[in-house]
Structure 1
Amino acid sequence: MMKLKNKTVLVLLASVLTLGLLFSFSNKDDKLFSIAKNLDIFASLIRELDSYYVDEIDPEKLVTVGIAAMLEELDPYTEFIPEENSDDFRLMTTGEYGGVGALIGNRTGINMILMPYKGFPAQVGGLRIGDEILMVDTVNVREKLTSDISKLLKGPANTPVMVEVKRGDDTLSVNLTRKKIVISNVPYYGKLDEQTGYIKLTDFTTNASADVRKALIDLKSQGITRLVLDVRDNPGGILKEAVEIVNLFIPKGKEVVKTIGKLESVNAVYKTTKTPLDKDIPLVVLINERSASAAEIVAGALQDYDRAVLIGRKTFGKGLVQTSIPLSYNSQVKVTTAKYYIPSGRCIQAIDYSNRDENGNSIAIPDSLRKEFKTKNGRIVLDGAGIEPDTKVELKSYSPIAYSLVARNHVFDFGTEFFRANKEIASPREFEITDKIYDGFIKSLEGKEYDYTTYVEKSIEDLEKYAQKEKYYDEIKVQIEDLKKKVSHSKEQDLVTFKQDIKDALLEEIVSRYYFQEGIIEASLRKDAEVEKSLEVLNDRSRMTKLLIASNRSK
């Protein structure tokens, strides 16, 4: 028999262990016996492949692929985390890592700085948005993946790292000292007007509730008497932090969420344990289709207690709880162990991963199976499809030309050029894209490609395709060609017609160069439909009261 290579020793060990399990269970109906049997088959398969397959194989890679394929049969949230990814997982759960404090990415094939976080080494050391990353210490990173560059930039706090960047025609070497990077869950808070506070909550990592508490205390010291809490685009995170945030607004001893799973050990009821910071302040919570998990717990619990008016769009619908379980060799698995239920008794999970259609795809819970529940005031709410707002605001659509200009990085590049030419600008709330700036942007587009298909042109293309498929094309060919000519877009005219869309994109891009992430958020609030609706509701106390009463609920 062929001599086995060293890299299969672990596989053999696994095989021996599973054989031990096989001898422990003789009843083939026993699930443990089935698990042990199939583990042994899997270990034997890897061993024989390593011995006999015509080319060299990487057993570790094969096993990882096998694990991923196995977990795909469950849900998207159950995942294997190998040792090399543990730092990224820690960042997701704690918001902490050792590094330089910068978001990097690839734009049109160039690795660059997309956002240095204010006050951290990259920003303090002078790195800017748009800087092309050439070297990290002695490693040329021009052709590397951004994930590999990120790993090179990270490291223990207080260790040095050299970053070489290209800025325009200049090449700069910047010596930085890595620090412990703690990303705040509240990147911005401030006043919308003299009475109204605003808190942007982007995550639920460690200290999320402390971040919100600190912001609210500061805003109250500035005299606010009402609040907008924004959890749009918040993917969720730590359950405990969600409970603590709800506790800022509702009394001690109230149930916020309970988890129910297969094992008794995962069943739990989470209640508020502290005196609230403010149980009476008029409150609006902003939600959208990317508000998920812990964000939905906060919004849903406050809705169930009729403590806040929810404005925006229906949330994502993630009502599943994950638990991290350590495995051997410093790996771990994040596994779905329970579903959570908010105070009214509803679970807002939108996808049933235990049932699949004929194509093997998980299915959404049909409306016919959604159940009715009631809030504290008797308002009817439904389970099975996320949290629905009390007042809906439609998603803003942007013109195709604006999408094209952003996607092709023309807006990004102009922001970089503008920053190099202008030392400072007005505050995010005061800065405007003047016609002079806009004309400069249009001039910068000369010779650049930014073609696109309008919505009407796409509809005509679809009509032509289906006409050809269904043999009607010859009969309506003349009419289709006539339509094409009539709706053929003019890029020059669209630059005028959709000027405001493009100005809005330019505004946020330019502001980001001077005021970073906080500035983008602050600038975007000026023309935010959900924020405008929030102020409208908060300014009309009788309307707000009616929204929270069963017989007068308005969508």
Structure 2
Amino acid sequence: MIKARPLVIRVVAAVSIVAVPIVSALALQREDKTTPDLGLLAGVIQLVNRAYVHPVGQDALTKDALKGMLNRLDPHSDYMDEDEFKQMQTDMSGQFGGLGMQITAQGGVPSIVSPIDDTPAARARLEPGDMIIKVGATSTQGMSLRKVVDMLRGEPGSKVTITILRGKEEPFDVSLTREIIRVASVKSELKPDRIGYVRISQFGNDTSEGFKSALTRLKTDAAGTGLKGLVIDLRNDPGGLLTAAVDVSGNLLNGGAVVSIRGREANDQHVFNAPAKGDMLPGVPVVVLINGASASASEIVAGALQDRKRATVIGTQSFGKGSVQTVIPIKGHGAVRLTTALYYTPSGRSIQDDGITPDVIEEAPKDQQISGGPLVRESALSGAIANPGQFDKRPGAAAKPQTDMPAKDVNKAAYSAPIRADLIGKPEDAQLKVAVNYFDKPPAAQPSAR
């Protein structure tokens, strides 16, 4: 199973490793520098098991050793024990218990990537970038994300109080009631003047069918004169399943590449194509809305439709999560989530570390932005993989610029705070108004599919 987004209420964990001297008896010399010194690892585990001030089980030490090794690779690789693996599978099913938000690690403190629409976190107006500095009376500084998740989750109906640090404000407490989170990842409505609007809050198992049903319903609602345009809203969407992103893109394209993944091994190279006659809205112009909280699968869709000239991308620079995580089950011992490849758009540009630059930069008005300011993007995460540049098999091929915009405008797009989640799709949503009004431009100013 290839995953394109962080887990719900668990995203990326980058642990801090402190170097300490090890007794000389364990400083084993290795003649073969290419072979891992398993004796050293086993020796340290035995030392801790025998001499640490409190007893520690062998299983716990082995699990922590695996987590430490994988967490050091990049922000998205990890080891999951059996319980964590089952929880991940539950998360991706679109129904789970908890508060309804995605979190990541920032400076050793968990922070919110995005609250999920219509959940306790969203109703409490938690914002992307909010730092969770305490759960109950317990500080989260240096705590693993999995432990934070375990503290946040609980029986539906039970309450939990978290302490939030937002920008330069004083910390404040928020009391939330846990509930079963049933995520409808796709919502749609027909806006005035025959503009179809589809909001995708995350890419889960139900997204492909939900998006197809939404397009069918919008076409029916606009019967007669037909749709004037379609807005796909991916703001504050942290991503999800690669397959869902490919399917959503494929519903607006006729054949050709949607995204490619490329890694070290030959079986890590793959191009995902749209169906030959996949476009459900031929001739209908499309706008995709993104911002700094649009990540992973969201960036795949935006990049594919932008490269293929099927949509105009409006908003601000996306998050920049362009790596592929493969979940490898280990029978009886959970699973490894390992970064195995990077995503590339149809034109061969890497999403990783850079993200997608909009065709039209449109910031949310200051009074509609989250109060914490711009988000930390992928490039600022500890251990983040650098952008590898353009993929092109031709020797000496020049890189294709993502945008013709001046650097100052690209920077402006990258460091703009996203819109408050409670305003998305509402009548006062200024960015959505710009997207809807875009369809009044002359056809020559809009892209044509290729």
Give the TM-score of the pair, scaled to structure 2: 0.62
- Quick check: which has more Rg, 1 or 2? 1
Deviations 1:63-89 (A, max 9, x none): 333333322321111111122223431
Cα deviation for residue 310 of structure 1 reads: 0.4
Question: Kindly tell me: are residues 260 and 530 of structure 1, through their superposed partners in 2, closer, same or farther at Cα, counting changes over 3 Å?
Answer: same
Q: Output one character per residue of 1:334-376: Cα deviation in whole Å (capped at 9) or x when no partner.
A: 1111112221111121279xxx99xx865755xxx85599xxx
* Alignment deviations for residues 215-248 of structure 1 (CA, whole Å, 9 cap, x no partner): 1211121113311001111111211111111111
What is the identity, as a one-letter code, of the residue corresponding to 1:202? S
Q: Following the alignment from structure 1 to structure 2, what is the Cα–Cα distance between the partners of residues 245 and 531?
A: 20
1:381 partnered with 2:401 = yes
Helix, strand or coil: the match of 2:299? helix
Q: Distance in 1 between matches of 2:345 and 2:210?
A: 23
Match of 1:250 among 249, 253, 256: 253
Cα distance, 1:536–1:329 mapped onto 2, change above 3 Å: same
In the alignment, which residue of structure 2 is the partner of 1:285?
Answer: 288
The one-letter amino acid paired with 1:189 is: S
Structure 2 residue aligned with 1:96: 95
Equivalent position to 2:265, from 240, 263, 266: 263
- Counterpart contact for 1:287–1:389, Cα < 8 Å: no
Match in the other structure for 2:279: 276
Which residue number corresponds to residue 191 of structure 1? Answer: 190
Cα distance in structure 1, aligned partners of 2:383 and 2:338 = 20
Query: Displacement of 1:148 after TM fit?
Result: 4.7
Counterpart Cα distance in 2 of 1:146 and 1:29: 40
The residue type paired with residue 212 of structure 1 is: F
Give 1:345's match in structure 2, choosing from 344, 348, 351: 348
Equivalent position amino acid for 1:185 in 2? S
Distance 1:396 1:342, change over 3 A: closer
1:85-132 alpha-carbon deviations (Å, 9 max, x no partner): 2343124433234x5x86499xxxxxxxx99969xxx9xxxxxx78xx
In the alignment, is the contact (CA less than 8 A) between 1:255 and 1:271 conserved in 2?
yes
Higher helix share: 1
Task: Name the aligned partner's letter for residue 334 of structure 2.
Answer: S
Q: Displacement, 1:288?
A: 1.0
2:290–2:314 Cα contact (<8 Å) kept: yes
* Shift, 1:48, TM fit: 3.1
Two-structure CA RMSD over aligned residues (Å): 4.4
- Residues 259 and 271 in structure 2, CA contact (< 8 A), matched pair in contact too: yes
Residue 253 of structure 2 aligns to a residue whose secondary structure is coil
Contact (CA 8 Å) 1:94, 1:205: kept in 2 or not? yes
More relative contact order, 1 or 2 (CA 8 Å, 6+ apart): 2
Task: State how far apart, in whole Å, the 2-side matches of 1:549 and 1:148 are.
Answer: 46
- Structure 2 counterparts to residues 127-138 of structure 1, below 5 A: none
Is the partner of 1:57 in helix, strand or coil? coil
Q: Is the 8 A contact 1:311 1:393 kept in 2?
A: no
Corresponding residue for residue 237 of structure 2: 234
Return the alpha-carbon distance in structure 2 between the equivalents of residues 282 and 395 of structure 1.
28
Q: Is the 8 A contact 1:230 1:285 kept in 2?
A: yes
Instruction: Please say if residues 292 and 417 of structure 2, whose CA atoms lie closer than 8 Å, have aligned partners that are also in contact.
Output: no
1:484-499 matches, cutoff 5 A: none
User: Is it true that 1:541 corresponds to 2:433 in the alignment?
Assistant: no
Correspondence for 1:63: 62
- The answer for the alignment partner of 1:413 in structure 2 is none
CA contact (8 A) 1:537 1:544 kept: no
Match of 1:44 in 2: 43
User: Equivalent of 1:326, from 319, 326, 329?
Assistant: 329
| Alignment CA distance shift 1:95-1:217 (3 Å) | same
State the AA in 2 paired with 1:535. Answer: V
One-letter identity of the residue aligned with 1:69: G
Secondary structure of the equivalent of 1:526?
coil
- Report deviation, 1:330: 3.8
Could you tell me the percent identity over the aligned residues? Answer: 28
Post-superposition offset of 1:548 = 6.3
Alignment partner, residue 20 of structure 1: none
Q: Hey, what's the Cα distance between the residues in 2 that align with 1:334 and 1:324?
A: 4
Distance 2:67 2:155 in 1: 28
Q: Which runs of 5+ in 2 are unaligned?
A: 1-29, 103-114, 125-134, 139-146, 161-176, 356-378, 393-398
After superposition, residues 415-454 of structure 1 pair within 5 angstroms as none
C-alpha distance in 2, partners of 1:44/1:394?
47
Q: Cα–Cα, structure 1 residues 351 and 73, in superposed 2: closer, same or farther, change >3 Å?
A: farther
Alignment of 1:75-224 (within 5 A): 75-97=74-96, 103=100, 147-148=149-150, 151-153=153-155, 182-186=182-186, 188-223=187-222, 224=227
Alignment-mate amino acid for residue 401 of structure 2: V
SS in 1 for 2:427: helix
* 1:57 Cα deviation from its structure 2 partner: 2.9
Is the 1:248–1:279 contact (alpha carbons within 8 Å) kept by the matching residues of 2? no
Structure 1 residues 29 and 189: CA distance shift in structure 2, 3 A: same
Task: Quote the Cα distance in structure 2 between the aligned partners of 1:295 and 1:325.
Answer: 24
Change (3 A) 1:549 1:203: closer
Instruction: Name the count of aligned residue pairs.
Output: 334
- Take 2:153 and 2:384, find their aligned partners in 1: how far apart are those partners? 34
How far did residue 283 of structure 1 move?
0.3
Change (3 A) 1:309 1:200: same
